[in-house]
Structure 1
Amino acid sequence: MRVNILGREFLLEIKEKKKKNNESQSYIKNRFMFRFAILAITFMIFGIIIEMSRLNINYNVGSIAKSDIVAYKNVSYFVDILDDSIEEKIVKTTQPEFDKIKDVNRETVILLNKFLRDIRNMNLSDDATLEKYIKDNKYTFTNADIREIAARTENVEYSVNLNEIMSEIYSTGIYKMENLPKIIRRKDIQADNLDMKVLQNFIKPNLVINKEATKKKIADNMMSLRDKEIKIYKGDIIVKKGEIIDSDAFLKLEKLNLVRNEDKFKKAVGLVTTFSLLLILIYYLLKKNVRKIVESNAFYPTLITIIVVNMFYVLFLNNQFLIYLLPFAMLPIISTILGNKTYAIIVTFSNMVMLSQEESWFFVTIAVSLVAIYKADDLVGRSDIIKLSFFLGIFQALLAFSYGMVNQSNLGLIMLMIVFSVFSGILTGMMSLAVLPYFEDYFDILTTMKLLELSDFSHTLLKQLLIKAPGTFHHSIMVGALAEGAAESIGANATFARIASYYHDIGKMKRPEFFVENQRDGINPHNKIKPSLSALILTSHTKDGYIMGKESKLPKEILDVILQHHGTTLTQYFYYKALENGEKVVESNFRYSGPKPKTKESGIILLADTVEAATRTLENKSKEGIENFIRYLVKSKIEDKQLSDSDLTLGELEKVIQSFINTLQGVYHERIKYPKMDERTKKHK
Structure 2
Amino acid sequence: MNKLSWIKEKIVLLFKLHMIQLVTACLVIVGVFFAVSYQNVHTETYEIEKFSAAKETIRSPITIENVKETEKNIREIVQSVDDHFEIAEEVVDEQITYINELFEAINKIDKEQAELDDEEEELSTISDKIAYLRNLIPSNSLSEMDKETFRSLFEATDSQVRLAKELITTTIYDAYHDGIKVEEVEQAIKDAQQRLTYSTLDDTFVEALLPIVEASIQPNAFFSAEQTNEAQEQARDSVEPVMIRAGEVIVEEGQLITNEIYDELEVAGLLNDERNLYPTIGLFLLIFLIGLFLFFEMHHHLSRARLDLSKIIAICLLSICLVLMLKVVSFYTTATNPLYFCAPVATVSMLLKVLVNERIAIVMSLFYAVIGSVIFNANIAGMLNMEAGIFILFSQLASIFFLSVIKDRGAIIKSGLATSIVNILTICLFLFLSFEKYSWIDYLVFSGYGFLSAIIANVLTLGMLPFFESGLGILSDTKLLSLSSPNHPLLRKLLIEAPGTYHHSIMVANLSEVACEVIGANGLLARVAAYYHDLGKTVRPHYFIENQMGMKNPHDHLDPYQSAEIILQHPIDSAKLLKKEKLPKEIIDIALQHHGTTLLKYFYYKAKERNDKVTEEKFRYTGPKPKTKEAAVVSICDSIEAASRSLANPTQEEIEKIVSSIFETRLLDGQLNDSSLTFNELEQMKLAICETLKGIYHSRIQYPKETNMKEAK
TM bucket normalised to smaller: 0.5 to 0.7
1:573 CA displacement: 2.1
Quick check: 1:32–1:294 contact (8 Å CA) kept in 2?
Answer: no
Does structure 1 retain, via aligned residues, the 8 Å contact 2:372–2:388? no
Cα distance in 2 for partners of 1:33, 1:472 equals 46
Report the equivalent of 2:436.
408
Shift of 1:57: 4.5
Among 614, 631, 638, the alignment partner of 1:602 is 631
CA contact (8 A) 2:417 2:454 kept: yes
Superposed, 1:345-356 pairs within 5 Å as 345-356=362-373
- Residue 285 of structure 2 corresponds to residue 276 of structure 1: yes
CA–CA distance in structure 1, aligned partners of residues 485 and 529 of structure 2:
12
- Alpha-carbon distance between aligned partners in 2 of 1:678 and 1:540, rounded to the nearest angstrom: 48
Q: Output the CA distance in 1 between the equivalents of 2:618 and 2:330.
A: 67
Please tell me the root mean square deviation across aligned C-alpha atoms, in Å. Answer: 3.3
Is 1:530–2:530 an aligned residue pair?
no
| Structure 2 SS opposite 1:522 | coil
Matched, 1:384 2:411: yes
Gaps of 5+ in 2: 48-54, 57-268, 377-384
Which structure 2 residues correspond to residues 638-653 of structure 1 after superposition, within 5 A?
Answer: 638-653=667-682
User: C-alpha distance in 2, partners of 1:560/1:299?
Assistant: 21
Find 2:351's aligned residue among 317, 325, 334: 334
Q: For the Cα contact (< 8 Å) 2:595–2:625, is it kept in 1? A: yes
2:316 maps to amino acid: L
Q: Which runs of structure 2 are paired with 1:119-158 in the superposition (5 Å)?
A: none
Distance in 1, Cα, partners of 2:424 & 2:20: 43
Distance 2:340 2:703 in 1: 73
* Structure 1 residues 279-315: Cα deviation after superposition (integer angstroms, max 9, x where no partner): 2255136515754366553222222222222222222
1:496-515 matches, cutoff 5 A: 496-515=525-544
Query: Hey, what's the Cα distance between the residues in 1 that align with 2:5 and 2:573?
Result: 40
* Structure 2 partner of 1:343: 360
Structure 1 residues 432-478: Cα deviation after superposition (integer angstroms, max 9, x where no partner): 11111211222222222222222211111111100000000001111
Q: Is the 8 A contact 1:298 1:339 kept in 2?
A: yes
Superposed CA deviations along residues 525-571 of structure 1, whole A, max 9, x for unmatched, are 22233222221111111111111112222221111110000001122
Contact 1:337 1:377 in 2 (8 A): no
Q: How many residues align?
A: 473
Q: 1:15 to 1:288 in 2, by over 3 A?
A: farther
Is the 8 Å Cα contact of residues 483 and 528 (structure 2) preserved in structure 1?
A: yes
1:659 and 2:659 correspond: no
> Is the 1:472–1:518 contact (alpha carbons within 8 Å) kept by the matching residues of 2?
yes
* Aligned-residue offset at 1:629: 2.4
- Residue identity over aligned pairs, in percent, reads 33
Q: 1:192-591 counterparts in 2 under 5 A?
A: 262-284=271-293, 286-288=295-297, 290-292=300-302, 296-320=309-333, 321=337, 322-356=339-373, 357=376, 358-405=385-432, 406=434, 408=436, 411=439, 413-582=442-611, 587-591=616-620
1:500-540 deviation digits (Å, cap 9, x = unpaired): 11111011111111111001333222223322222111111
Equivalent residue for 1:618?
A: 647
* Gap change, CA 1:490 and 1:386, over 3 Å in 2: closer
Distance 1:409 1:436, change over 3 A: farther
Q: Distance in 2 between matches of 1:460 and 1:303?
A: 35
Given candidates 20, 27, 41, the residue that maps to 1:37 is 27
Q: What SS does the aligned partner of 2:310 have?
A: coil
Residue identity matched to 1:633? I
**Further displaced range: 585-594 or 532-541:** 585-594
Alpha carbons of structure 1 residues 349 and 654: separation in structure 2 relative to 1, 3 Å: closer
**Change over 3 Å in CA distance of 1:372–1:270 after alignment to 2:** same
Distance in structure 2 (CA, Å) of the matches to 1:285 and 1:304: 15
Q: Distance in 1 between matches of 2:674 and 2:651?
A: 33
- Residue of structure 2 in register with 1:245 after alignment: none
What is the rounded CA distance, in whole Å, between the counterparts of 2:9 and 2:318 in structure 1?
38
Q: TM-score, normalised by structure 2?
A: 0.61
C-alpha contact (below 8 Å) 2:340/2:388 kept by paired residues = no
Q: CA deviation at 1:27?
A: 5.1
**1:680 to 1:327, Cα distance in 2 relative to 1, 3 A:** same
Q: Structure 2: how far apart are the matches of 1:295 and 1:49?
A: 34
Whole-angstrom CA distance in 2 between matches of 1:489 and 1:348: 29
Give the letter for the 2:25 counterpart: R
Q: Tell me which amino acid in the other structure corresponds to 2:33.
A: F
Could you tell me which amino acid in structure 2 is paired with residue 383 of structure 1? G
Structure 1 residues 354, 574: closer, same or farther in 2, change over 3 A? same
For 2:417 and 2:697, locate their aligned partners in 1 and report how far apart those are by CA, in whole Å.
48
| TM-score (norm: length of structure 1) | 0.63
Q: Which amino acid aligns with 1:408?
A: E
Q: Distance in 1 between matches of 2:623 and 2:697?
A: 31
Return closer, same or farther for 1:534/1:263 CA change in 2, 3 Å cut-off. farther
The equivalent residue for 2:36 is 46
Q: Which has the larger radius of gyration?
A: 2
Alpha-carbon distance in 2 for matches of 1:323, 1:523: 72
Q: State the distance in 1 between where 2:326 and 2:451 align.
A: 17
Find the aligned partners of 1:400 and 1:669 in 2 and give their Cα distance. 56
Q: Which stretch has the larger CA shift, 580-589 or 506-515? A: 580-589
SS for the counterpart of 1:593 is: coil
- Show CA shifts across 1:85-107 (max 9, x none): xxxxxxxxxxxxxxxxxxxxxxx
Give a deviation string over 1:258-286, Cα, whole Å, max 9, x none: xx995334223322233324422551365
CA distance in structure 1 between the partners assigned to 2:664 and 2:307 by the alignment: 37
Q: Partners of 1:58 and 1:463 in 2: how far apart?
A: 73
**Secondary structure of the structure 1 residue equivalent to 2:598:** coil
The Cα shift of 1:635 comes to: 2.1
Q: Which moved more, 1:418-427 or 1:274-283?
A: 274-283
Letter in 1 for 2:404: D
Structure 1 residues 667 and 49, CA gap change in structure 2 (3 angstroms): same
Contact 1:35/1:294, CA 8 A, preserved across alignment:
no
1:294, 1:589 → 2: CA distance?
37
Gaps of 5+ in 1: 1-13, 60-65, 68-259
Structure 2 CA distance, aligned partners of 1:451 and 1:464? 18
Higher mean displacement: 478-487 or 660-669: 660-669
Q: CA deviation at 1:627?
A: 2.1
Deviation at 1:36, TM superposition (A): 1.3
- 1:284–1:395 CA distance, 2 compared to 1 (3 A): closer
Give the Cα separation in 2 of the matches to 1:550 and 1:16. Answer: 30
Between the aligned partners of 1:594 and 1:16, the Cα distance in structure 2 is 20
Change (3 A) 1:635 1:397: closer
Residue type of the partner of 2:350? I
CA 1:563/1:365 → structure 2, altered by over 3 Å: closer, same or farther?
Answer: same
Q: Distance in 2 between matches of 1:294 and 1:354?
A: 24
Aligned counterparts of 1:335 and 1:396: Cα–Cα separation in 2 = 19
Query: For the Cα contact (< 8 Å) 1:336–1:377, is it kept in 2?
Result: no
* Distance in 2 between residues matched to 1:58 and 1:344, nearest whole Å: 42
